[in-house]
Amino acid sequence: MPTRAEFGGFPRLGGIVAELGELRRASQKRRYRDGRLPELPSREATIEIIEDLAASLYPRHFGPPELTTDGADGFVLYTLDKSLRALREQVRRELLLLANGSDDGTIDHRPRAHEIVDAFAQALPQIRALLDTDIRAAFEGDPAAKSLDEVVFSYPGLSAIIRHRLAHRLYLLGAPMLARLVSEIAHSATGIDIHPGAEIGEGFFIDHGTGVVIGETAIIGKNVRLYQAVTLGAKRFEVDASGALVKGGARHPIIEDDVVIYAGATVLGRITIGRGSVIGGNVWLTHSVPAGSNVTQAKPLSESFTFGAGI
């Protein structure tokens, strides 16, 4: 048994631990119906899986530096096998957690996890094809971009969209917690917060990116460009008769094809931004606009005041 000195000389540490234990057990009792504590998905394992998947999609950029063209397929085969096996275990843990005591604990969630991960694996070529359009959109939309490789290597918007497209597929297949974890990993790394439920078309480009927020039910069409600090959010949250938030429901904007939204713009509610529109910087928008709109801030008025007027 460690002595008090080994605990840093804190005489009440044992009591603090006991109080924390009581709070933890009470919380677990409220959350888990039958008292069994399911295994939780691992953040560390998920980070490794996503990095491996990114390397499998773009082995020359995110694989080992010594990787040759001839060795790329072998690397992808090995890395995908490793990452998909690990993903299957994390999906199994999420399914067990989602069951939350609704079964007697004897249901084997491994077959369903296998189905989800197999469907996810089958979608990887489609995800890669979509990402190629995003890379091209970034290169063509940014005069500072010198090459497609520069975009892949160094653009935070591309890093975020790689992880979003992976997370979105997991979300659709029935692993929403893992999908959200992937999106939060990307958020931490890039400052770009895209909910995995958001639907995003091809040729998507986020320039600079810091502070971008895209909500769960947002729908974004093809060839859309966003700049930093853009918010596609909800205008209000509905509550039920007891005052609790109503979950779900379409509450975020629809952005049609070929729209540009400049830095700091806030677009709220289930509104539609028509095709080809341009939304200026720092605009606050809560109503739909037709195709081809150009929305800017109101121009400031120029007035002069004398002898204390205007105070």
DSSP string, the chain: ---TGGGTS-TTHHHHHHHHHHHHHHHHHHH-TTS--PPPPPHHHHHHHHHHHHHHHSHHHHS-TT--TTTHHHHHHHHHHHHHHHHHHHHHHHHHHHHTTSS-S----HHHHHHHHHHHHHTHHHHHHHHHHHHHHHHHH-TT---HHHHHHH-HHHHHHHHHHHHHHHHHHT-HHHHHHHHHHHHHHHS-EE-TT-EE-SS-EESS-TT-EE-TT-EE-SS-EE-TT-EEE-S---B-TTSPBPP-S--S-EE-TT-EE-TT-EEESS-EE-TT-EE-TT-EE-S-B-TT-EE-PPPPP-----TTTT-
CA distances from 134 to 52, 117, 128, 184, 233 (A): 20, 24, 10, 20, 22
Rounded-to-integer distance, Cα 265 and Cα 226, Å: 9
pLDDT at 5: 52
Ordered by where they begin, the domains of the chain are 31-191 (1.10.3130.10), 198-298 (2.160.10.10)
Q: Are 198 and 178 spatial neighbours (Cβ–Cβ below 8 Å)?
A: no
Note the maximum CA span of the chain: 84
Rounded-to-integer distance, Cα 71 and Cα 64, Å: 11
Q: Are 171 and 91 spatial neighbours (Cβ–Cβ below 8 Å)?
A: no
- List all residues 6 or more positions away from 297 whose beta carbon is below 8 Å from its beta carbon: 280, 281, 282, 283
What is the per-residue pLDDT across 102-156, written as a single tens digit (0 to 9) for each?
665 678 899 999 999 999 999 999 999 999 999 999 999 999 999 999 999 999 9
CA distances from 82 to 9, 86, 89, 97, 283 (A): 46, 6, 11, 23, 46
Rounded-to-integer distance, Cα 67 and Cα 60, Å: 7
Question: How long is the chain?
Answer: 311
Establish how many alpha carbons lie within 13 A of residue 151's alpha carbon, considering only the half-sphere containing its beta carbon. 26
Q: Quote the radius of gyration of the chain (alpha carbons, Å).
A: 24
Mean pLDDT per 10-residue segment, the chain (311 residues): 60 90 90 79 96 98 94 97 98 90 73 98 98 98 97 97 98 97 97 98 97 98 98 87 84 98 97 98 97 88 56 46
